[in-house]
């Protein structure tokens, strides 16, 4: 099991804890849920672009920091 309190493990496994309690879930509006989804999608796109650029650079230079 991953530890949501340990951001390094969470980042390595690319797994996030996405949980709310019942009260918070019922308090969210459709607009808030859509906004959160769009924010998450934007963050993922940014991470993918950064990783793709890193891989392209590694390919060009023949170096890799990946383990």
pLDDT of residue 64: 66
Report d(CA 43, CA 34) in Å as an integer.
14
For the segment 5-26, what is each residue's pLDDT rounded down to a tens digit?
777 777 777 655 667 777 877 8
Would you state the pLDDT for residue 21? 77
Highest mean pLDDT among 5-19, 37-51, 52-66: 37-51
CB 9 within 8 A of CB 3: yes
Q: So what's the pLDDT on residue 15?
A: 58
Report, as an integer, the average pLDDT of 23-50: 89
Q: Which residues of 39-63 are buried (b: 16+ CB within 10 A; e: fewer)?
A: eeeeeeeeeeeeeeeeeeeeeeeee
């Amino acid at each position: 099991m991953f530890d949501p309190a340990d951001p390094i493990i969470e980042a390595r496994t690319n797994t996030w804890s996405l949980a709310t309690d019942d009260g918070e879930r019922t308090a969210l509006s459709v607009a808030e849920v859509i906004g959160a989804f769009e924010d998450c999608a934007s963050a993922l796109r940014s991470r993918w672009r950064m990783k793709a650029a890193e891989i392209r650079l590694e390919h060009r230079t023949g170096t890799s920091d990946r383990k």
